[in-house]
Structure 1
Amino acid sequence: MTDAVLPLAPLSEFDRHLFREGTHFSLASVLGAHPGALDGERGTAFRVWAPNAARVSLLGDFNGWHPDAHPLHPAGDGTGLFSGFVPGLGPGERYKYRVASRHAGFVSDRADPVAFAAEHPPGTASRVADLSYTWSDGSWLAERGSRQSREAPVSCYEVHAGSWRRDPSEPGRPLSWGELADPLVDHVADLGFTHVELMPVMEHPFYPSWGYQCLGYFAPTARHGAPQDLMRFIDRLHQAGIGVILDWVPSHFPTDGHGLAFFDGTHLYEHAHPLQRLHPEWGSAVFNLGRNEVRAFLGSSARFWVERYHADGLRVDAVASMLYLDYGRRPGEWVPNVHGGRESLEAVSFLRELNHAVLAAHPGTLMCAEESTAWPLVTRPPYTGGLGFSLKWNMGWMHDSLAYFARDPVFRRYHHGEMTFSTAYAWSEDYVLPLSHDEVVHMKGSLLDRMPGDDWQRRANLRLLLGHLFTHPGKKLLFMGGEFGQEAEWNFDASLDWHLLADERHAGILRFTRDAARLYRDLPALHERDHDPGGFAWVVGGDADQSVFVHLRRGAAPGAAALVVLNATPVTRHPYRVGVPCPGRWREVLNSDAAEYGGSGAGNLGGVPAEPVPSHGYPQSLVLVLPPLACLVLVPEGA
């Protein structure tokens, strides 16, 4: 039945050149399954890369999964591509490739590496998909550059789509994108977050991997619906003025038999060397970034989500595991680079090319690195020796802050530096402050559960931690559930405990998160100079005995300022004199101890007049009441 597969025209010479060179970052336009017409006949065009295959054929419901019914045509041009057009085949059809290798008689049925849709797990077939969709987010895209600039407020609400909320009548079923859209948009808009950051939505066979063991680099998981359902979901967020950042995993992939590993009877996508092939901690395969076609595959995936799904940014997972050849490995278990070092030169060059390609094609997009080491210049341009990311997760701030807040306030005086050290490096990179999913799993407990003290103190400590998040220099990220004090550790296979909001103690935490997030978004002094050391000054940084921290945040406009005060003990401090740069009344615009948040109600009666008494190097000063375990923000009258 060879005639059942019509030959396709070969790729252009330019496409072939870019593919071999590793700079073809639009492979989704030429590989995969594309419904369309050939010589006036409707059908689907297929093209797959399998350079070490002797034969590749199509299997599917359309031919009874017969391995000989639809053989593809080898390109014969050295690219290793197989292609063909199948008349009458359209969207929704399931298919796989039967790959017969030239080596050792290897034969395997594989999902399409560039499939645009997949069948619902545990099924492993690909689906032909029509990705047409009429978008309604033109105004958002026109403003994206300014909304995501270094001076703009960026606060991310991190979401695992399968467990944010579930239907109580069907608790074992994740909601569809359509079911999630309205309640999630309403919740995020009410809180005042600027972005939703979605944990991986790409197809993944193992649900407990949370999406981080991905095989569908061009296909959204079918667990939540069709490709257009995800597009509509993102469109809905954009229309509400909310950006969308997608988690993306170019560091490793699972070794499931239908996937990328040993795809054509050789180690095509992964390293061939046994010391490089598998990640020692995760058991997954490591992409061979020294192979040009693999670089093109990954770069095309990144561009695809930005271009076809209108993602406003990508959060690149596990960057450290890419940068270091000895990551997770003991001596003798890794292969040094050509200079004898531990740095992956291939990963460095790939990340630079990736970031340049995405940001040049789509200015204003955010490329965020989850990088957990002190690798320098992660967010600096490649021409200065940097990796070219827009933002980097500040893991040091996160670890130190959580360690400090987990301590009994009696002992915090001995660990004062855990709260101040971050300002020694806060402007070495453009940082995001992450209170992410990683901090509420693996027996760590929820954020609330990690706070010390009695019930009242635990909630006050959590509000104080959230206040610290929204007032410290850097963009923000908070994992779902933290906004209302989820009590249980995150469970990826169950809904958040939304019933807790019937408890006024949790409703108060939610109100505080909303007011803090909105204040960060709306007050220029708290965000305009997140990445500028001139936008921050310690006023009181050394009061370890009382565990008090006071700093000044400045905006771009003259006089734009915010005074931030943290009292990390359950003791009210009064009077507490604090220097300020200008006279007049300073309004108290945020107080985490307010009664409406579940606090004691102590505070400064809405504001305090400055006195002409020099203090802390400033000509004026305020005499404040510092409520217990509280965060205060004060601004000059009129600001």
Structure 2
Amino acid sequence: MEVLAYSLFSDFDISLFISGKHFRLYEKFGAHLTTHQDIDGVYFAVWAPNARSVSVIGDFNQWNKDSHPLNRRLDSSGIWEGFIPHLTKGEVYKYAVNGFDGVMVEKGDPYATKWEHPPKTASVIWDNDYTWKDKAWLSKRPKLNALNKPMSVYELHLGSWQRDPAAPKRVLTYTEIAASLVPYVLDMGFTHVEFMPIMEYPYYPSWGYQITGYFAASSRHGTPQELMFLIEELHKNNIAVILDWVPSHFPGDAHGLYHFDGTHLYEHADMRKGFHPDWKSYIFNYDRNEVRSFLISNALYWLDKFHADGLRVDAVASMLYFDFSRKAEEAATNKYGGSENLGAIEFLKDLNEAVYGNFEGVQTIAEESSTYPGVTNPVYAGGLGFGMKWMMGWMNDTLKYFKNDPINRKHHHHQLTFSITYAFTENFMLPFSHDEVVHGKSSMIYKMPGDEWQKFANLRVLYAYMFTQPGTKLLFMGNEFAQTHEWDFKNSLDWHLLQHPPHLGMQKTVRAMNKLYTSEPALYERSFSYDGFEWINADDADHSIYIYARKSSKAKDTLIVILNLTPVYRENYRVGLPFKGKWKEIFSTDAEEFFGSGKLNEKLMLPEKEACHGREYSILLNIPPLGAMVLKQGK
């Protein structure tokens, strides 16, 4: 077998690539099964502008570095390419790269669509052929996945959501996961699932956040087509799929992107800009056009070939600032002397314009912890262009408050009222993610104070607070039934806990809150607008009671939410009404089916013309201990 001259690149492709504007590079780079001169085989293309030579090695040539050298294009693109006849799907391969430094290295294909099962590190010749059957979902996705619709996200790690009970060390395949995950998510009422990174990664304890195979579904769970099947099954049940995506850094594994052609090609050569001190990984060089083309092509690839409905972009703050996790004197600066990474900012803007410009009904979500302004503003208005941003300040303040013994909460009342002062400056998602239940932070249930009953009551009211606040929602797997252990990526969730009433009650609570959230327009229609929220009483610190209204475009849909964050039962508590009307309790975390005490308001509550909370009319009601209740107009 010899390497034949052949190319998938036009001059226009090359022009787009080197200008940072080619966003479908997966159609050109990598290994493509094709026919050339009536011969079936594989076309290879790889970017290695500073390499002295590049060849394809694999079982087919006994890994001989001299056997199949690729041809360097005669232009300035730095692309090596060629067609090798008679190669077939399933062959393993790498690139033997004789680098600028004279060192020969064996690299996996940056655009490979499949890799060997770790710890093996070779790429695999594969395709993305799949006959999709989710046209109905895609046609209604722009409406269902819009910002004025409910978004309740179930975040999960595929390797530890469930394991094979007969062989606990074995992770399930994408197909096996589909069989149990789809009915579970449907039953629980979540609208979205979010998969922690499913792109190929070598080091399992990284949870997928240190990627080597950006274009490959992890072979730990099966083939790309099996992942497509999982996504399709979710779509058939109107469940949207968000993928965690990591354009912020990558590991230094010898077979990966690092020092790819004997130079700092994908990473920045200045290690103040190119090395992450916390994660011991390498930061992409966003100033380089070809790197931006690579990353944006990768984002579009998952939306295009895998029909993903959104991307949650990891560690955005680390991309925006050179001094992230660095002392000021150890950090680089931009050309104006500031700490902002101008290349990363332009990359993120290009990314979001490309995503929203090419796909209908998708969302990008920034995991962003800084105060950078306008993360969710449109690019044309000076923003970064994301659809949503994680509300990290809300999450930190909320957990800090709930860890307090209820007797002391009156001294920290502002920690739950403060977030509303900035809640509408961005399109916020409220997250209780995997990061909050690892590394000694304890599980959600053990963050709560008190005895067993109080812990569960606290957690129920915490979730009710989240589901009734402005913003979309995210809950990590296991949180919905009060997993007691911290998350362990090596083992299944503790599903056996559901045989115990408190845990079953917690699961029922989350199921009921999803139903409430998705059926009441006041809870989602104006998630990102001041028009959707109104304080009725934000000042009763002595009793640790919070009362607010959630509003939609129709007054009849208005909800009143009351939180009692002490274990004291409050009888005949007067609440001012946003307008005159009869009110009924439509939800309470204190219901006995939820493992509550059953102190409910079961009768219709009639308005009295007695001023309270600055309003003309009011009602008297009983507020359960460590409970949340939701009122709506009734008959």
C-alpha deviation, 1:557, in angstroms: 2.1
In 1: Cα distance, 2:182 partner to 2:237 partner: 7
In 2: Cα distance, 1:239 partner to 1:521 partner: 18
In 2: Cα distance, 1:48 partner to 1:383 partner: 34
In 1: Cα distance, 2:39 partner to 2:101 partner: 39
Match of 1:458 among 455, 458, 470: 455
C-alpha deviation, 1:250, in angstroms: 0.3
- Cα deviation per residue 1:112-170 (whole Å; 9 max; x = unaligned)? 00110100000000011111001111111111111121210011000000000011111
In 2: Cα distance, 1:33 partner to 1:13 partner: 20
> Quick check: 89-98 or 599-608, which moved more?
599-608
In 1, are the aligned partners of 2:8 and 2:28 still within 8 Å (CA)? Answer: no
Q: Which residue of 1 aligns with 2:57?
A: 59
In 1: Cα distance, 2:101 partner to 2:548 partner: 67
Match of 1:120 among 117, 121, 142: 117
Q: Which residue of 2 aligns with 1:285?
A: 282
Q: Which residue of 2 aligns with 1:266?
A: 263
Q: Which residue of 2 aligns with 1:364?
A: 361
1:232 pairs with 2:223: no
Summarize the Cα distance change of 1:445–1:372 in structure 2 as closer, same or farther, 3 Å threshold: same
RMSD: 1.0
In 2: Cα distance, 1:348 partner to 1:546 partner: 46
Letter in 1 for 2:170: R
C-alpha deviation, 1:84, in angstroms: 1.1
Summarize the Cα distance change of 1:606–1:497 in structure 2 as closer, same or farther, 3 Å threshold: farther
In 1, are the aligned partners of 2:55 and 2:97 still within 8 Å (CA)? Answer: yes
C-alpha deviation, 1:10, in angstroms: 5.8
- Cα deviation per residue 1:338-365 (whole Å; 9 max; x = unaligned)? 0000001111111001000010111321
In 2, are the aligned partners of 1:158 and 1:478 still within 8 Å (CA)? Answer: yes
Q: Which residue of 2 aligns with 1:142?
A: 139
Q: Which residue of 1 aligns with 2:70?
A: 72
In 2: Cα distance, 1:603 partner to 1:569 partner: 16
Q: Which residue of 1 aligns with 2:160?
A: 163
Q: Which residue of 2 aligns with 1:44?
A: 42
In 2: Cα distance, 1:220 partner to 1:339 partner: 40
Q: Mapping of 1:146-295 within 5 angstroms?
A: 146-295=143-292
Q: Which residue of 2 aligns with 1:6?
A: 4
Q: Which residue of 1 aligns with 2:500?
A: 503
C-alpha deviation, 1:277, in angstroms: 2.1
Match of 1:378 among 375, 384, 396: 375
Letter in 2 for 1:522: S
Letter in 2 for 1:254: P
Match of 2:625 among 605, 624, 628: 628
In 2, are the aligned partners of 1:584 and 1:609 still within 8 Å (CA)? Answer: yes
In 2: Cα distance, 1:52 partner to 1:546 partner: 68
C-alpha deviation, 1:220, in angstroms: 0.8
C-alpha deviation, 1:606, in angstroms: 5.2
1:329 pairs with 2:326: yes
> Quick check: 557-566 or 217-226, which moved more?
557-566
Q: Which residue of 2 aligns with 1:440?
A: 437
In 2, are the aligned partners of 1:172 and 1:494 still within 8 Å (CA)? Answer: yes
In 2, are the aligned partners of 1:200 and 1:210 still within 8 Å (CA)? Answer: yes
Matched position secondary structure for 2:154: strand
In 2, are the aligned partners of 1:10 and 1:75 still within 8 Å (CA)? Answer: no
Summarize the Cα distance change of 1:196–1:4 in structure 2 as closer, same or farther, 3 Å threshold: same
In 2: Cα distance, 1:258 partner to 1:333 partner: 29
- Cα deviation per residue 1:531-585 (whole Å; 9 max; x = unaligned)? 1101100001000000000000001223320111100000001111111133333
Q: Which residue of 1 aligns with 2:336?
A: 339
Which structure 1 residue ranges, 5 or more long, are not aligned? none
In 1, are the aligned partners of 2:7 and 2:82 still within 8 Å (CA)? Answer: no
In 2: Cα distance, 1:497 partner to 1:35 partner: 44
1:396 pairs with 2:393: yes
In 1, are the aligned partners of 2:57 and 2:68 still within 8 Å (CA)? Answer: yes
- Cα deviation per residue 1:297-356 (whole Å; 9 max; x = unaligned)? 000000000000000000000000000011111132121100000001111111001000
Aligned residues: 635
C-alpha deviation, 1:63, in angstroms: 1.2
Letter in 2 for 1:574: E
Which structure 2 residue ranges, 5 or more long, are not aligned? none
Identical counterparts, % of pairs: 50
Q: Which residue of 2 aligns with 1:85?
A: 83
C-alpha deviation, 1:452, in angstroms: 0.3
Matched position secondary structure for 2:450: coil
Matched position secondary structure for 1:483: helix
Q: Which residue of 2 aligns with 1:348?
A: 345
Matched position secondary structure for 1:33: strand
> Quick check: 23-32 or 357-366, which moved more?
357-366
In 2: Cα distance, 1:115 partner to 1:152 partner: 36
C-alpha deviation, 1:61, in angstroms: 1.2
C-alpha deviation, 1:401, in angstroms: 0.6
C-alpha deviation, 1:518, in angstroms: 1.1
In 2: Cα distance, 1:394 partner to 1:555 partner: 22
1:532 pairs with 2:568: no
Match of 1:21 among 19, 22, 29: 19
C-alpha deviation, 1:611, in angstroms: 2.3
